[in-house]
């Protein structure tokens, strides 16, 4: 008791001394101290709350894994900086390998002929067209491409995943004719180019009709899926700030969501809670989504379908959460484009053999507040066009930027760009009018039929492989379930046979996005895939043999803690090379 009494007495004495010292200070100094204490207390409370929300969203296991991953990367960076002989050797080896990889990237991308400056005299059209032919030939191994008697490109042969979604000369002619007519137009000046304004409004209107949001919906065109997503995220940030007073916004998205959401979060200072997907269904874990929602959450994200493996998230379940917590729900239908809205009309929404079933995803789902849809994919429009749609015009207003006090006058723009190419709008409108409702229906039937045929063939005839999830539309991804078959190595072998496929990670897999050109090559795809799987299963790697691109890049990214940073450095080198002459 005496010890307790002594401690209490000392504590009281200390408090009295502090109070006496504070009393001796001038009022302004006391106010500063009190405010500093309040600020420190608030910061500690905010940090505690944020840490709790972070832990709740990721769980104990996820938080520990995240911390260990960061710690291992920090330790590796520290190791590389240490003046140890082993560290120097590793650094030198990495430097040598990275240098070789960067040179290889430049060799593949940068040609020999360079036009750094302008010619003294302008060149005629014939010279320009000849240069186009020469540059195209260089890009295809100095082989003549297109035209009668000339070799077809990979995309013309149907051996490319996505990229070119239609490619028929008749549609290309329609688009180029429209583009030529409106090549000088700019929707920033609707008084000068009223036809372009009308066409853009009709494109947005048609897109809303396909996704069941007419007449209350509102939207704009953008330069592509990334801008559509970035604009949606910006809209929800501004909406939440104005209506809820949220200044530290957060959003919840599946691990399979497009990287454009992370890009938008990086641009706008939004915290991302990335939720893992089920390894079998490839759908986001709804229990973890629910745990990740907190008072700062502004947006939930679902894909229809996602880019990596072509599967859908449970949009109806996400909708229930969005309505319950009064937050936004964005459906990324950029890749789904004009395929997803036509599955039901084509009689394909019920799936096949109990798989590939279409779940509700459009504005008929009550909690869906926005959808992005790329017209330049399965809308067959020219590259550089997409549509972002909102359930209401009131929500769309948060996407706009308006400046009334500028010395140059009133400035207002609907999206990121000020000036925009009206020719792309005209080309999109022309493509939609030329293809028509029946054309989109037929293309959906053909493309999805091809994708499901490939998926079913892999399921039934390739015991070494498996299909990821149950993709309802045009994208299928396959991984390996055989210990001797590296699926990324299979992807590299397919590349040598002229195929341009997409490598995936987490898990390692390869995907193909079927287009109007794929059906003509689907039998060849299956045949080549059989040969590559057989070779991968039986081959032995020779000492010093160079790995293929997929294995080298995506294998490196998962093989060690330093892998992601090295892959990131190579990605930066790739971007640098794009601008070298």
Same domain membership, residue 448 and residue 477:
yes
What pLDDT is recorded for position 561?
A: 41
The last residue of one of the domains, among 435, 460, 493, is 435
517 belongs to a structural domain: yes
Query: In this structure, are residues 479 and 511 in contact, taking their beta carbons and an 8 Å threshold?
Result: no
β-pairing, 297-303 vs 502-504, is: unpaired
* pLDDT means over runs of 10, the chain (581 residues): 61 70 74 79 80 79 80 74 72 76 77 79 95 81 55 89 96 98 97 98 96 89 98 98 97 98 98 95 95 97 98 98 98 98 96 92 97 98 98 97 94 95 98 98 98 98 97 97 94 94 93 98 98 90 57 46 65 83 78
499 belongs to a structural domain: yes
164 belongs to a structural domain: no
143 belongs to a structural domain: no
Same domain membership, residue 505 and residue 544:
yes
Same domain membership, residue 429 and residue 441:
no
Same domain membership, residue 258 and residue 399:
yes
What pLDDT is recorded for position 7?
A: 57
90 belongs to a structural domain: no
Give the max Cα distance, the chain. Answer: 105
Cα 476 to chain centroid, rounded = 17
What pLDDT is recorded for position 124?
A: 97
What distances in angstroms separate CA 193 from CA 181, 189, 409, 421, one per listed residue? 12, 6, 20, 11
158 belongs to a structural domain: no
Distance CA 477, CA 504 (A): 9
What pLDDT is recorded for position 342?
A: 98
112 belongs to a structural domain: no
What distances in angstroms separate CA 543 from CA 129, 328, 486, 547, one per listed residue? 47, 54, 17, 11
Same domain membership, residue 510 and residue 377:
no
- Phi, psi for 323 (deg, rounded to 5): -70, -40
Distance CA 573, CA 581 (A): 14
Same domain membership, residue 307 and residue 257:
yes
What pLDDT is recorded for position 550?
A: 54
CATH number of the domain that residue 556 is part of: 3.90.1150.10
Same domain membership, residue 306 and residue 201:
yes
Same domain membership, residue 460 and residue 423:
no
Query: In this structure, are residues 254 and 277 in contact, taking their beta carbons and an 8 Å threshold?
Result: yes
Nearest Cα residue to 337 out of 371, 297, 301 = 371
Same domain membership, residue 454 and residue 409:
no
Query: In this structure, are residues 428 and 188 in contact, taking their beta carbons and an 8 Å threshold?
Result: no
Cα four-point dihedral sign 202, 206, 207, 208: positive
Residues 6 or more apart whose Cβ sits within 8 Å of residue 380: 165, 166, 171, 338, 431, 435, 443, 516
Cα 66 to chain centroid, rounded = 22
The last residue of one of the domains, among 65, 82, 99, is 82
Count of structural domains, the chain: 3
What pLDDT is recorded for position 3?
A: 60
Query: In this structure, are residues 399 and 388 in contact, taking their beta carbons and an 8 Å threshold?
Result: yes
Task: Tell me the whole-structure pTM to 2 decimals.
Answer: 0.86
46 belongs to a structural domain: yes
CATH number of the domain that residue 212 is part of: 3.40.640.10
The last residue of one of the domains, among 59, 82, 105, is 82
Domain of residue 68: give its range: 36-82
Give all strands of the β-sheet with 370-373 in edge-to-edge order.
Answer: 218-222, 386-390, 370-373, 328-332, 297-303, 250-254, 271-275
Same domain membership, residue 555 and residue 411:
no
Same domain membership, residue 487 and residue 370:
no
Same domain membership, residue 485 and residue 400:
no
């Amino acid at each position: 008791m005496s010890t307790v009494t002594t401690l209490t007495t000392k504590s009281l004495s200390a408090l009295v001394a502090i109070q006496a010292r504070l009393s001796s200070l001038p009022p302004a100094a006391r106010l500063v101290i009190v405010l500093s204490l309040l600020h420190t207390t608030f910061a500690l409370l905010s940090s505690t709350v944020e840490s709790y929300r972070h832990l709740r969203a990721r769980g104990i296991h996820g938080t520990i894994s995240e911390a260990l991953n960061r710690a291992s990367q920090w330790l590796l960076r520290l190791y590389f900086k240490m003046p140890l002989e082993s560290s120097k050797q590793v650094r030198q080896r990495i430097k040598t390998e990275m240098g070789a990889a960067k040179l290889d990237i430049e060799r593949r991308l940068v040609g020999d002929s360079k036009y750094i400056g302008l010619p003294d005299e302008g060149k005629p059209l014939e010279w320009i067209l000849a240069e186009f032919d020469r540059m195209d030939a260089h890009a295809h191994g100095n082989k003549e491409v297109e035209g009668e008697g000339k070799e077809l490109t990979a995309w013309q042969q149907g051996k490319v995943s996505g990229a070119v979604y239609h490619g028929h000369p008749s549609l290309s002619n329609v688009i180029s004719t429209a583009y030529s007519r409106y090549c000088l137009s700019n929707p920033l000046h609707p008084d000068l180019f009223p036809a372009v304004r009308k066409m853009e409004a009709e494109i947005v209107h048609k897109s809303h009709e396909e996704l069941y949001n007419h007449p209350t919906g509102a939207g704009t065109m953008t330069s592509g899926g990334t801008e559509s997503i970035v604009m949606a995220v910006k809209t929800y940030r501004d909406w939440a700030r104005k209506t809820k007073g949220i200044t530290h916004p957060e959003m919840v998205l599946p691990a399979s969501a497009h990287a454009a959401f992370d890009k938008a979060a990086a641009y706008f200072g939004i915290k991302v809670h990335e939720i893992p997907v089920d390894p079998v269904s490839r759908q986001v874990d709804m229990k973890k989504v629910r745990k990740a929602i907190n008072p700062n959450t502004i947006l939930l994200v679902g894909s229809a379908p996602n880019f990596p493996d072509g599967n859908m998230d449970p949009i109806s379940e996400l909708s229930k959460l969005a309505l319950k917590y009064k937050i936004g729900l964005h459906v990324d239908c950029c890749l789904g484009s004009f395929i997803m809205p036509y599955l039901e009309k084509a009689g394909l929404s019920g799936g096949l053999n109990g798989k590939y079933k279409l779940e509700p995803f459009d504005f008929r789902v009550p909690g869906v507040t926005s959808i992005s849809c790329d017209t330049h994919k399965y809308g067959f429009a020219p590259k550089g066009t997409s549509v972002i749609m909102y359930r209401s015009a009131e929500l769309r207003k948060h996407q706009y930027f308006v400046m009334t006090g500028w010395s140059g006058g009133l400035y207002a723009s609907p999206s990121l760009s000020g000036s925009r190419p009206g020719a792309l709008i005209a080309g999109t409108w022309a493509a939609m009018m030329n293809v028509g409702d029946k054309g989109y229906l037929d293309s959906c039937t053909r493309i999805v039929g091809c994708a499901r045929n490939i998926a079913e063939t892999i399921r039934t005839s390739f015991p070494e492989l498996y299909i990821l999830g149950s993709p309802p539309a045009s994208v299928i991804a396959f991984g390996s379930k055989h210990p001797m078959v590296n699926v990324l190595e299979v992807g590299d072998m397919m590349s040598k046979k002229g195929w341009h496929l997409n490598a995936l990670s987490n898990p390692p897999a390869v995907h193909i996005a079927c287009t109007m050109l794929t059906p003509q090559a689907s039998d060849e795809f299956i045949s080549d895939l059989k040969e590559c799987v057989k070779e991968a299963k039986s081959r032995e790697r020779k000492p010093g043999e160079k790995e293929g691109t997929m294995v080298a890049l995506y294998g490196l990214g998962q093989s060690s803690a330093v892998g992601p940073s090295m892959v990131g450095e190579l990605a930066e080198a790739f971007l640098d090379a794009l601008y070298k002459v």
